[in-house]
Amino acid sequence: MTDKQTGGALAGFRVIDLTRVLGGPFCTQLLSDHGAEVIKVEPPQGDEVRDWGPPFKDGLSAYFSGVNRNKRSLGLDLRSARGQEILFQLLEGADVMIDNFKAGSLEKWGIGYEDVIAKRFPSLIYCSITGFGADGPYGGFPGYDAVAQALSGQISVNGSPESGPMRIGVPIIDLATGLYASIGILMAAEERRRSGQGQRVDASLFDTGVALLHPQAANYFMSGKAPVLTGNSHPNISPYDLYKTKQGQLFLAIGNDRQFRLLGETLGHPEWATDPRFLHNPERLEHRHELNAAITEALSTHVAEEVSSTLLAKGAPAGAVLTIAEVAELPHTLHREMVVELDGYRGTGIPIKMGRTPGSIRAKPPHYGSATRDVLAGLGYDRTQVDDLIADEVAFTERAKPPV
């Protein structure tokens, strides 16, 4: 049975997506990839990452396109009473509403979750993604990925003594918050199956950043010693580092004695496995500098990709450092369908492989308001009523100009 026949694991699951930028859209794209119907409700000016470029293609930024496929876009002013009534109509048949507004925004507009939405839609799951949560000393403060990386300690443990603390190259906290949000939504959906009740799912960038501090936080809690910058090295394992070769760079992640023996044999140094300095991981960690020097010298006559392939085939973790362009053409990437294309759209594939109900790419990222008329028609509005809503700037098919 194909994915078109099954519709995906979340077929019939309806999500009203009020999110913008990254964490929220990443969450809802994951849900939509697996069959959920996602209506992306955008404010009059649209999701601001539509402007985050170049690059642009067909009027869409790459940043927006990367996290908004399989969705329909409805332009709507939620600050207006008529816009809110349309939202309520959308929620009548919805399973989830998700937003990443600044804490208190819904209450400011008179449609707070506890006071209005939960009472009117008791089975609705409401997910709120914020920078720091709604309460506490930082409650309600705005948050972006890099700010959360800084305040959660992530930046303090990333980088080398030479570079100093550094931001992680991908917006890992935004993306992981989107993952936590999707997990929370599905947990709430499972609980609702038993209780019949919806609930709030609270996900924040700060909480995610702290939760991801492994193993540094665990090391600190046990030893009382603050982690130091180790660059590409691992604080608990050796050899676990980036090495230069005759051609290319190679990352070794040797986690046990067997893998270390295979490394030595592959590089022509079987004696390493019986060297008292390198017998087990604690000794290798204590003598990491001598070991790294020996490995670097041995690799000076090897090619990174060849060593990587050889070690992987033997069961020892190693990876040549590839560029994004090389990853996109890697045979394994293509075999795993981790680059997908649809009518000119090209993006990363679906990482969760479902046996009976696989996910699918059904629609390209939407232009702003491209589904406004269809969504409103589905709610029972006739053509004249839709025209009036657009003329009165309640609903939108084109982005409004930002206020001066």
CA pair distance 231, 242, nearest whole angstrom:
9
CA pair distance 357, 62, nearest whole angstrom:
28
| Pair of tokens at residue 251 | 């990352």
383, with CB counted inside 10 A (0-12, 13-18, 19+), is exposed
Looking at the DSSP bridge assignments, the partners of residue 62 are: none
Is residue 174 part of the annotated active site? The answer reads: yes
In 3D space, the residue among 264, 273, 278 whose CA is nearest the CA of residue 310 turns out to be 264
| Pair of tokens at residue 8 | 């995906």
DSSP 125-165: EEEEEESS-SSSTTTT----HHHHHHHTTTGGGSEETTTEE
Which residue in 3, 174, 207, 241 is the catalytic one?
174
CA pair distance 155, 168, nearest whole angstrom:
7
Annotated active-site positions, please? 174
